[in-house]
Amino acid sequence: CDVRAFSLDKALEFDSTFLDNQDDHVHDPYIKALGVKLQGPLNQDRLNNFFAGVLKRYPKEMYRMKGILDVKGIEERYIFHAVNCHFGGMPQGAWSSESTRESRAVFIGRGIDHAWIVEKLRLCFEAPTAGVIESNVKSAHS
């Protein structure tokens, strides 16, 4: 779907410094992303409680959540997406026969306790002691 909404040539024509590597903006050091991979089927009721808990604990601080989940009893990939407190999810498309059923999710927010997210996600496995969880934040695995 090429809608030609962006043209680098037009951007450079408008602003010749568009690609210059200058610090023209500041990143908030408290906004961080947590990426997780979960191996093992997840329990739908526990996931619902997890997401409700995240939105209750971080109603304004959790900016975005999205992912693909392996939910027990749902044969398709369960896709979810949340922006602030607006959450949606649905089964969408079959799992590839060539890949392992593995859940992946990203949580982006300001001042989020990554260890708390990982701890609560671990409880979402159908068999919490058998599930494996990895993340990009080592300190989240205490």
* Residues 57-67: tens digit of each pLDDT: 999 999 999 99
pLDDT above 70 covers a percentage of the chain that reads 85
**pLDDT tens digits for range 64-99:** 999 999 999 999 999 999 998 888 899 998 998 887
Phi-psi region of 128 (alpha: psi -120 to 50; beta: other; left: phi over 0): alpha
For range 137-142, the mean pLDDT: 68
Q: Determine the pLDDT at residue 2.
A: 47
- What integer is the mean pLDDT of 108-130? 95
Main-chain phi, psi angles of 57, to 5 degrees: -75, -35
DSSP class of residue 138? Answer: G
Residue 140 has pLDDT above 70, yes or no: no
Distance of CA 126 to the CA centre of its chain: 20
Chain-centroid distance, C-alpha 37: 10
d(CA 32, CA 112): 8
DSSP annotation of 51: H
Q: Give the Cα separation of 124 and 110 in Å (integer).
A: 23
- Rg of the chain over Cα atoms, rounded to whole angstroms, equals 19
Confidence of residue 100 (pLDDT cuts 50, 70, 90): confident
In this prediction the pTM is 0.78
